[in-house]
Amino acid sequence: MGFSKTMMPSKLQLLAVLAFAVAMLLIENQIQKLEESRARLERTIARHQLAEVEQRHSEDLGRESPPLAEKDDMVIIYNRVPKTASTSFTNIAYDLCGKNRFHVLHINTTKNNPVMSIQDQVRFVWNVTSWREMKPGFYHGHVAYLDFSKYGVQGKPMYINVVRDPIERLVSYYYFLRFGDNYRPGLRRRKQGDKKTFDECVSSGRSDCAPEKLWLQIPFFCGHHSECWDAGSRWALEQAKYNLVNEYLLVGVMEELEDFIMILEAALPRFFKGATELYRTGKKSHLRKTSEKKPPSKETIATLQQSDIWKMENEFYEFALEQFQFVRAHAVREKDGELYVLAQSFFYEKIYPKVS
């Protein structure tokens, strides 16, 4: 009898634990359903807004509109790579758009999927090139490079981007999924509750920190070809390099973000006039910082550096860095520890026929 009495509290405790676990599962399920409902609502609103825009465009086709001034008929696409200071830079655009009179639009893809369906590619290209009300426009989002020339439209946007050391980018993303950042600290992240450090993840061979997770900057620049997303593809690496040199106005590196902003302001004052000063003095200069981030050990870095995927991603990063430093060397000079933009260094002469 005494034995059964001592067992009763244990059974009650077990039932209580089970009940609590079931309750938590139900709550998690309800949260997931609410998030899915919110996502469906956002997509419905977006489709409705797009339909209104398309209707206005259709109505405008019957009327002849005056051409936009050249400086206003401009579109910039910043197909931002995750965890490369993209939020900090984008907030500068949001802060400047009112004063400099341009529009900023976020490309919000379902589940942040960087690859668009073929029908969405056509819709997006058509919207960007024909949406007069949103020009000049600055579009930003986690979307792979899209070659506008293959869709039969007139005019191409200017692409810009920023890259980061591939291991540092992955480490930042790893902790971001678990602890979030100081931008939205209360938001529940996908891997919240997982306390493993990045070192522990690598040493135990988990998929979250596998070399394949390094494969991101190359496909973002490579684009929407299937092989772009084949981790370790030499073709994808070479295509990404080609696009960086031939299709992007400027690609900076996160480690030298201020120089990137300074050159953009010099090249495109229509958008970025005042950006350098805002970055240096504004409250949003380093808006987003990943929480609880621990630097990886030398052993962890050495392990990742053994993979061919790291070697390719690092080769692309070094290539981008070299290109940026070349551009910077011809755009700015240093004096007394400060960088300044070079003045115009060309002029026209021997102009014929002479104007009487």
pLDDT digits (tens, 9 = 90+) for 207-247: 999 999 999 999 999 999 999 999 999 999 999 999 999 99
Q: Which domains are delineated in the chain?
A: 75-341 (3.40.50.300)
User: pLDDT tier at 355 (50, 70, 90 boundaries)?
Assistant: confident
pTM higher than the cut 0.75: yes
Q: What is the mean pLDDT of residues 147-153?
A: 93
Residue 180 has a pLDDT of 67
- pLDDT, one tens digit per residue, over 31-65 is 667 666 665 665 565 555 555 555 555 555 455 56
Q: Which one from 57, 103, 140, 330 is the annotated catalytic residue?
A: 140
Active-site residue 286, yes or no?
A: no
Strand partners for 290: 181
Which residues, at least 6 apart from 320, have a Cβ–Cβ distance to it below 8 Å? 163, 244, 251, 253
Q: What is the mean pLDDT of residues 189-198?
A: 71
Residue 120 has a pLDDT of 96
For residue 101, is pLDDT > 80? Answer: yes
Residue 27 has a pLDDT of 77
Which residues, at least 6 apart from 17, have a Cβ–Cβ distance to it below 8 Å? none
- pLDDT, one tens digit per residue, over 61-96 is 455 566 666 678 999 999 999 999 999 999 999 999
User: ω into residue 269 within 30 of 0, thus cis?
Assistant: no
Share of the chain above pLDDT 70, in %: 79
> Where is average pLDDT lowest: 1-5, 73-77, 98-102, 210-214?
1-5
- pLDDT, one tens digit per residue, over 239-280 is 999 999 999 999 999 999 999 999 999 999 999 999 999 999
Residue 47 has a pLDDT of 58
Residue 19 has a pLDDT of 80
Q: Which of the listed ranges 54-58, 322-326, 343-347 does the model predict with the highest average pLDDT?
A: 322-326
With 0-12 / 13-18 / 19 or more C-beta atoms within 10 angstroms meaning exposed / middle / buried, residue 321 is: middle
For residue 284, is pLDDT > 70? Answer: no
Active-site residue 225, yes or no?
A: no
Share of the chain above pLDDT 90, in %: 64
For residue 282, is pLDDT > 60? Answer: yes
Residue 285 has a pLDDT of 47
- pLDDT, one tens digit per residue, over 168-186 is 999 999 998 887 664 555 5
Q: Which one from 57, 103, 106, 142 is the annotated catalytic residue?
A: 142
